[in-house]
Structure 1
Amino acid sequence: METIFNYFETIPSSHRSLILVGGITFFWLLEGAVPLIKFNYKKWRHALPNLFFTATTIIINFGLAFLLLGTADWVVANDFGLINWLPEMPLWLYVFLGVLFLDFFGAYLAHLVEHKVKPLWMVHLVHHTDHKVDTTTANRHHPIESVIRFSFTLLGVFLVGTPIAIVMLYQAMSLIFTQFTHANIKMSKKLDKAISYVLISPDMHKIHHHYRLPYTDSNYGNIFSVWDRLFGTYRYMEREDIVYGVDVFFDEDANGKIGTLLKQPFQKYNQPTMMPDAE
Structure 2
Amino acid sequence: MFDHEPVIRLGVFTGILLLMMLAEAAAPRRDQHYTRRQRWPNNLLMVVVDTLSVRLLFPVAAVGAAVMANEQAWGLLNLANLPVWLSVILAVIALDLAIYLQHRVFHAVPWLWRLHRMHHADLEFDVTTGLRFHPLEIVLSMAIKITVVVALGAPALAVLIFEVILNATSMFNHGNVRLPQGLEQRLRRVVVTPEMHRVHHSIVPEETDSNFGFNFPWWDRLFGTYRDRPSAGHIGMVIGIEEFREPQDLRLDQMLIQPFRSTYRRSRSL
TM-score by length of 1: 0.87
Q: CA-atom RMSD, angstroms?
A: 1.9
Listed as ranges, the matches of 1:139-178 within 5 Å are 139-178=131-170
User: 2:220 — aligned with what?
Assistant: 228
Q: Name segments (4+ residues, structure 1) moved above 4 Å.
A: none
User: What's the secondary structure of 1:133's corresponding residue?
Assistant: coil
Partner Cα distance (2:95, 2:45) in 1 = 26
Name the aligned partner's letter for residue 239 of structure 2.
Y
Listed as ranges, the matches of 1:171-186 within 5 Å are 171-186=163-178
Partner Cα distance (1:163, 1:61) in 2 = 21
Q: After the TM superposition, which of the residue ranges 79-88 and 109-118 deviates more from structure 2?
A: 79-88
Deviation at 1:130, TM superposition (A): 0.6
Name the aligned partner's letter for residue 159 of structure 1.
A
Aligned-residue sequence identity (percent) comes to 29
**Contact 2:87–2:154, Cα closer than 8 Å, also in 1:** no
User: 2:71 — aligned with what?
Assistant: 77
| TM-superposition CA deviations, 1:55-95 (whole Å, max 9, x none) | 11211233315143453123212333233344633x43322
Name the aligned partner's letter for residue 28 of structure 1.
M
Deviation at 1:190, TM superposition (A): 2.9
User: What's the secondary structure of 1:224's corresponding residue?
Assistant: coil
**Shift in alpha-carbon separation, 1:98–1:59, aligned structure 2, 3 A:** same
User: 1:11 — aligned with what?
Assistant: 4
Deviation at 1:230, TM superposition (A): 1.7
**Contact 1:79–1:161, Cα closer than 8 Å, also in 2:** yes
User: What's the secondary structure of 1:215's corresponding residue?
Assistant: helix
Matched, 1:101 2:94: yes
Query: Is there any run of 5+ residues in structure 2 with no aligned partner, and where?
Result: none
| TM-superposition CA deviations, 1:19-50 (whole Å, max 9, x none) | 22222111111100011112244313310111
Deviation at 1:10, TM superposition (A): 3.6
Partner Cα distance (1:57, 1:139) in 2 = 9
User: 1:4 — aligned with what?
Assistant: none
Deviation at 1:241, TM superposition (A): 4.1
| TM-superposition CA deviations, 1:101-129 (whole Å, max 9, x none) | 11122x21221111011011011111001
User: What's the secondary structure of 1:66's corresponding residue?
Assistant: coil
Candidates 256, 262, 271, aligned match of 2:256: 262
**Contact 1:206–1:242, Cα closer than 8 Å, also in 2:** no
Matched, 1:21 2:14: yes
User: 1:218 — aligned with what?
Assistant: 210
**Contact 1:181–1:205, Cα closer than 8 Å, also in 2:** yes
**Contact 1:10–1:165, Cα closer than 8 Å, also in 2:** no
Partner Cα distance (1:271, 1:76) in 2 = 43
Deviation at 1:196, TM superposition (A): 1.9
Partner Cα distance (2:22, 2:165) in 1 = 20
Candidates 240, 243, 254, aligned match of 1:245: 240
**Shift in alpha-carbon separation, 1:13–1:67, aligned structure 2, 3 A:** closer
**Contact 1:133–1:182, Cα closer than 8 Å, also in 2:** yes
**Shift in alpha-carbon separation, 1:249–1:192, aligned structure 2, 3 A:** same
**Shift in alpha-carbon separation, 1:159–1:30, aligned structure 2, 3 A:** same
Partner Cα distance (2:15, 2:124) in 1 = 21
| TM-superposition CA deviations, 1:186-234 (whole Å, max 9, x none) | 1023322222222211111111000111110111111111221222111
| TM-superposition CA deviations, 1:167-187 (whole Å, max 9, x none) | 111111111000000011010
User: What's the secondary structure of 1:15's corresponding residue?
Assistant: helix
Deviation at 1:244, TM superposition (A): 0.5
Query: Is there any run of 5+ residues in structure 1 with no aligned partner, and where?
Result: 1-6, 273-279
User: 2:53 — aligned with what?
Assistant: 60
Candidates 3, 16, 39, aligned match of 2:32: 39
**Contact 2:64–2:156, Cα closer than 8 Å, also in 1:** no
Name the aligned partner's letter for residue 74 of structure 2.
F
Partner Cα distance (1:271, 1:17) in 2 = 37
User: 1:275 — aligned with what?
Assistant: none
